[in-house]
Amino acid sequence: MDTTAPGLAALTVFVEDLDAVAAFHRDVLQLPQVFADEVSRVFDLGGTLLNVLAVGAAGELVAPAAAAPAGGPAQVLLSLFVEDVDATCAQLRARGATLLNGPVDRPWGKRTAAFADPSGTVWEVAQDLAPRGGPTAGPG
C-alpha cells in the first residue's frame, strides 16, 4: 500500500450548529460553498474540501470512536496563508470575527492571528515575514 499522499483532499469538522458554522465560513471567511444537504455543507479551500458536518451524522464516519463534544479545548488549528495578515484581520473583524490573538510576529518567520468559528474550531491567518533587510520571501 502506497502511503504517499499528494495533498489533503478533505477536512471534516463536526459541529453542533451547522447553520451558524456554515454561515461563518460563507460570510466571514467567504469560502465558496460547493455542496449542501441536511447534515453538511462543503466549502472549497483551494484544493482541499472543508466538510462541515452535523455532529449527529459523524458517528458512522468515526465508529467505533465517538465525536468529541463541542466546547472542549482546542484540538486543531487550521491555517490559511494570506498576503497581508493585518488587512485580512481588519476584514475578518468587519465581518464579525473576534480575534483570539495577534496579529503577532512569530519566531518561525510568520505573522499570524487566530480566531474561532462558532463551533470553537480555531483558525489562523498567516503570512511570511520579510527576511531582515529584504523583500518578503515566497515563490517567484
d(CA 112, CA 88): 10
Residue pLDDT, tens place only, 102-140 = 999 999 999 999 999 999 999 999 999 987 654 544 443
pLDDT given at position 89? 98
CA distances from 10 to 25, 31, 86, 116, 140 (A): 15, 14, 28, 20, 28
| Cell numbers that stand for 81 in this block | 496563508
d(CA 46, CA 41): 16
pLDDT per residue as tens, the chain (140 positions): 566 677 889 999 999 999 999 999 999 999 999 999 999 999 999 989 999 999 999 988 888 988 877 777 887 899 999 999 999 999 999 999 999 999 999 999 999 999 999 999 999 999 999 876 545 444 43
Domains of the chain (ranges plus CATH)? 8-66 (3.10.180.10), 73-140 (3.10.180.10)
The identity of residue 81, as a single letter, is F
Residue 35 burial class via C-beta count within 10 angstroms: exposed 0-12, middle 13-18, buried 19 and up: exposed
pLDDT given at position 132? 60
- In 49-65, which positions are buried (b, 16+ CB within 10 angstroms) versus exposed (e)? ebebbbbeebeeeeeee
d(CA 127, CA 83): 6
pLDDT given at position 59? 87
| Cell numbers that stand for 26 in this block | 460563507
CA-based nearest residue to 50, from 117, 95, 111 = 117
